[in-house]
Each structure stands twice: as C-alpha cells, then as structure tokens.
C-alpha cells in the first residue's frame, strides 16, 4: 500500500458548484461536477489524512472512510462549513466553483411569467478562499484553484497574492478535454516562490496525485497542531 505521508494530518477540501436560489424552484449555478475536488479528497485520504469535504450539489461522492462529507447548496452555506472546519486543518484545498454572486432576494413564491424581460438583482457572495487566507496561521497550508479565460498566469499570480494562498492550481480551458464535465484536466501549479509547473493533460485522479505530490515535495507541510 501507499506510504501514509499525511497520517495524523487534517485536511479541508471544497468541491462542486454552488446553487444560488432565485425562488423556491429555481437557482443559478454552474457546470462544475465536483470530480476534481473529490479526487483531491480521495488522494489526501489515501495518504493518511483525515479529510473534511465540503461538497456543493454534485452527482458524485467520495468513498474513502477517512473522508467526512458535508453537503451544502449555496456559497454562504459553504462559507459557514469551511469556517467551522478550517481550524486545525494543516492543508486546505479549495477546488469548488463558488458563485461570485447570489440573487439579492429569494422570491418566497415561484416567479410568474409576465413581461418579456425579467431582472434579477445580484449581490456579492463571501470569498471563501480570501476569508481563509485572511485568518490562516503559520501552520496552515492553503491552496486555491483558478479558471481563467485570458491572461491566465498573471491573473493566477494576482490571486495567489490577493487571497494569501500558498499555491494556486490553474485550470486551462484552452485545452480540449480539460475542465468542467471532463474526466481529464490540464493544470499549472504556481506557488509563492514564483515557480510554476505545467502538467500534461491527465485524468483528474492523476492530477490530484500530482497536486499532493507537489505539496509533499515542495511545500512545508505543517506539523500537527
Ligand atoms: O476569484 P476566483 O473565483 O477565480 O478564485 C478561485 C478560487 O477561489 C478557487 O479556489 C475557489 O474555490 C475560490 N473561491 C472561494 N469563494 C468564492 C469564490 C472563489 O473560495 N466566493
């Protein structure tokens, strides 16, 4: 079997989309499946970590016995679950595709078809990665994801700085077979040292393995709290 390099460590992982309710029967969401984050949770657990997986609405689920899944729907629920479980997590990897905005008001009844146009006013959701970055301690490693359509590298580097993360995993949408809905992904890993590595198109399981390997080889994995 695998060496338990993360035995005794606690990890927090977010995965999946968020659904932001418009009325009792409708929501605004995105095409994230949760596969990448679930693969990361599985990989951390396979290395001995005790994992809390905060999972948005997804058809998929984690199976390893060392993974505790907290099911959430909205960004604010995901934020609350992360805040409740961040303390004591030596490694946190935020792979969820969190909605940046939610409808300002949730209609109490189903919205009726009326005029030709409909306006929904949105308000900003909390940024979970930035919030954890702001309260992170010396002994906590924080990893974010980025999905960019242009200026990928410079935007990912800005994200690393602005959100006080230790690493950013950049998903390339330029590549066929990468990203939402696919079983494969092409990623670039950036860290605070300024170095970065681009990996070939590979399965999300292998990409998760590469991310954990990168952490173990290049990052200081904090001692237990
Ligand atoms: O700023 P952007 O949404 O591109 O940043 C992506 C990273 O931030 C991902 O790791 C994502 O999980 C995280 N994020 C978050 N809360 C938000 C928005 C993004 O944790 N509200």
pLDDT tens digits for range 167-206: 999 987 766 666 677 788 899 999 999 899 999 999 999 9
Close Cβ partners of 183 (under 8 Å, ≥ 6 residues apart): 35, 203, 204
Domains and CATH numbers, the chain: 10-218 (3.40.50.10300)
100 is in an annotated binding site: yes
User: Is the reported ipTM for this assembly greater than 0.90?
Assistant: yes
112 CA distance to ligand 1 middle (Å)? 33
What CA–CA distance (Å, rounded) separates 149 from 129? 20
Does the C-beta of 94 come closer than 6 Å to ligand 1?
Answer: yes
147 Cα nearest atom in ligand 1: 4
Report whether pLDDT(222) > 60: yes
- Cα–Cα distances in Å, from 154 out to 148, 159, 201, 210? 10, 9, 21, 22
Q: Is the pLDDT score of 211 beyond 60?
A: yes
pTM: 0.95
Would you state the pLDDT for residue 168? Answer: 97
For residues 140 and 135, what is the distance between their CA atoms, to the nearest angstrom? Answer: 10
Active site residue 30: yes
Cβ pair 221, 168 in contact under 8 A: no
On the question of pLDDT at 48 being above 70, the answer is yes
Q: What pLDDT, in 10s, does the model give residues 70-114?
A: 999 999 999 999 999 999 999 999 999 999 999 999 999 999 999
- Residues 139-177: tens digit of each pLDDT: 999 999 998 888 889 999 999 999 999 999 998 776 666
What's the Cα-to-Cα distance from 190 to each of 23, 94, 119, 163, rounded to whole Å?
Answer: 40, 15, 39, 14
Using alpha carbons, list the distances in angstroms from residue 16 to 52, 136, 162: 14, 23, 23
- Please give the average per-residue pLDDT across 126-148, as a whole number: 96
Catalytic residue, candidates 30, 139, 155, 164: 30
Distance 141 CA to ligand 1 centre (A): 16
- Report, in this order, helix, strand and coil percent for the chain, each rounded to 5: 25, 30, 45
């Amino acid at each position: 079997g695998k060496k338990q390099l993360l035995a005794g460590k606690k990890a927090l992982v977010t995965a999946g989309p968020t659904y932001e309710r418009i009325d009792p029967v409708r929501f605004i969401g995105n095409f994230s499946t949760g596969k990448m984050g679930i693969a990361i949770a599985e990989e951390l657990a396979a290395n001995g970590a005790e994992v809390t997986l905060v999972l948005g609405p997804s058809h998929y689920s984690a199976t390893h016995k060392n993974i505790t899944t907290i099911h959430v729907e909205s960004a604010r629920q995901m934020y609350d679950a992360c805040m409740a479980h961040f303390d004591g997590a030596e490694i946190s990897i935020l792979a969820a595709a969190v909605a940046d905005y939610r409808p300002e008001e949730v209609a109490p009844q189903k919205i009726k078809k009326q005029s030709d146009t409909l306006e929904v006013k949105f308000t900003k959701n909390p940024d979970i990665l930035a919030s954890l970055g702001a309260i992170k301690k010396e002994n906590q490693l924080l990893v974010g994801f980025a999905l960019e359509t242009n200026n990928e590298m410079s935007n990912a580097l800005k994200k690393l700085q602005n959100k006080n993360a230790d690493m950013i995993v950049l998903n390339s949408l330029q590549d066929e077979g990468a990203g939402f809905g696919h079983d494969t992904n092409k990623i670039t890993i950036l860290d605070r040292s300024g170095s970065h590595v681009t990996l070939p198109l590979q399965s999300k399981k292998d990409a998760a393995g590469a991310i954990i390997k990168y952490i173990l080889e290049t990052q200081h994995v904090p001692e237990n709290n």
